[in-house]
Amino acid sequence: MSSLLLSRLSAHMLCAILIFQVACKANAYRPFNDFSTRGYSYNSLEDGVEEIMSFDQLLPAPVYPEGGGFARGAIDLGGIEVFKAKYFKKIWDTQGGGLDNVGASFYEPTKIPTGFHLLGHYCKLNTKPMLKAVLTAKDTTRDTSFGAALERPIDYTLVWTSKGTTLSIGQDVDGYIWLPIPPHGYKTIGHIVTTSPVKPSLDKVRCVRSDLTDLIEVDDSIWGSSDINLYSTKPISTNGGLGVPTGTFLALNNHSGTHGLACLKMVKNDANSTHPTIEQIKVMITAFAPLVYFHPDEEFFPSSVTWFFNNGAQVFDPSPHPIINNGEFLPRNGTIDDSFLDLPSDQSLKNKVKKGSLSDAVAYIHAKPAPTFTDIVIWLYYPFNGGSKLQVGYFTLNLGMIGEHVGDWEHIRLRIGNYDGVLQSIYLSQHAKGEWIPADNFEYINGRPMVYASLHDHAHYNAPTKKIHFNAEEFVDPNDKQKLKREVKSHDPRNLSPLKFGFGPVDEADKSNHVFDILASPSSYEIVYADNCTETIVPPPWLDYTGRWGPKITYAWKEKALIVIDSLPLPLWVKIISRKIILKLPAETYGEEGPEGPKMKGNWNGDERT
């Protein structure tokens, strides 16, 4: 056989393999609620063959009952219809710079339905998953007396280029970040990124009529170098909840302290038209309610509020008396320190109530619809918070009663897109703050995410873990660290903590047979509040209680912690370093005062702390 024939056969075989690989890759992901099934046609790709990727989660949407504009694919904001991009092509990336010097990547939405336009590009740290919904927009204005809803920019300003940078950011080609200049009466929503010094086409992006936009504020830092910083943005918290996040990024160089970016705004007369009905909310809960697993050594479980009241709980305002009628007569107009709840005075009953009652536990649901997503906030009540642990190098110290307090409210927040009714991300509360985690970073059982509550203090995690939640390493002298490492070599390695070398209060979360199933029975959850809901929800009386859910304890916890440390069977240098850490820890590290109730917390009406 001739070499020419072999060459042709090899080329044909290679082509067949490539086609097979592409076909397999295409079949590996099937987007749900695809616009192509709804009569939309996709714009053709601009650059020929390119790498297209999807950040969509693979969780399917449940079947929702009909009603309103929820889960219909696109959302009408009034004058503008928005569509959440599913597919992206990478424009430019760096392998260095920014947080932990891991670099960032820049993407352009692609395969968007005909008639929709870009509002800007998307940027994320290379090690971070995609959390933001990136919107494209379509002009639906019928009354053009105020101008079209979308217009091309009149020019571009170069905000920054990597060309000539003295820092090593690991780029293959130079990147350029452009700010579209809007016509008079219009606002810019996002930046455009190129790998060419030539200005992008004016047809590349659209600006939005000013009355259809809202103000934004800086959210989280994404990436930066010596002369540029990139941030995610969000609607300002004072805009009444009608601001719509667009998923674009903000670029600020060192020569500009202000910016001209905006977000979209719901201006439709029926602003609640995209919100789910109560029946649709119930479907969300049934489909996505997490299973909460507790540590094998857990002693203090959740209960229902009613169980807590009915088993001897007291209210002090200021004198003690029993709580009756589901909290109907609890103080409602006082300050946080005007009253507090406490355990029963009877010791045997007190010991019982401290342990909670998993079989009687109830998840209290607060539904928070916004124009483009709905949050299902799941509140769990624990009558008691157990003692804490301290990590010192490789050693985990049990601090006994340090950290104990009456009353503990924890929550999990599910974010479901109003476009498609799909679970996007989950917020897990952890010690007065927490973290947003993409939905596909969880384990699932029958489509429901698994959440792990840490031992005694009930912080939430998406996997079994042992994690320092307050880094106290700055309080440790470098010489002490070396002494501790030398001391550890002579210690029995079987008793060493599996946690990496570190310092600070530590959480331990693991799986056991103790699990709270929110769907275990019809009484295992209760919708206590739904924002902007036309259907009647009767909140329980205790929800408006303004005092603390436990006494405010003031005692010398550091002195007690030192006594505990001295009594532990530890090497001398471990005790010395542990004492130094305890003496420098801030008081809030081991908060021991009863918490405020869910409705009194800032995140009831506002954003989560991360």
- Give the 3-state secondary structure of 138-160: EECCCCCCCCCCEECCCEEEEEE
Alpha carbon distance 289, 416 (integer Å): 12
pLDDT digits (tens, 9 = 90+) for 511-537: 999 999 999 999 999 999 999 877 789
Question: What are the per-10-residue average pLDDT scores of the chain (610 residues)?
Answer: 39 36 31 29 41 66 90 91 92 88 93 95 88 89 85 96 81 94 97 97 97 92 87 80 90 74 92 90 97 98 98 95 93 94 96 97 96 95 94 87 92 95 94 90 94 97 93 86 71 55 91 97 95 86 97 81 89 86 80 88 87
**Percent of the chain having pLDDT more than 70?**
86
Helix axes 478-489, 572-584, angle to 10 degrees: 150
pLDDT tens profile 5-52: 334 334 443 333 333 333 333 332 222 232 322 333 333 334 444 567
SS (H, E, C) 448-468: EEEEEECCCCCCEECCCEEEE
Tens of pLDDT along 392-418?
A: 888 889 988 888 899 999 999 999 999
pLDDT at 17: 33
Question: CA of 489: how far to CAs of 54, 481, 575, in Å?
Answer: 48, 13, 16
Alpha-carbon span 367 to 531, nearest angstrom? 6
* pLDDT score of 402: 86
User: pTM for the whole thing?
Assistant: 0.84
**Beta strands 395-398; 363-369: pairing state:** unpaired
pLDDT for 445: 95
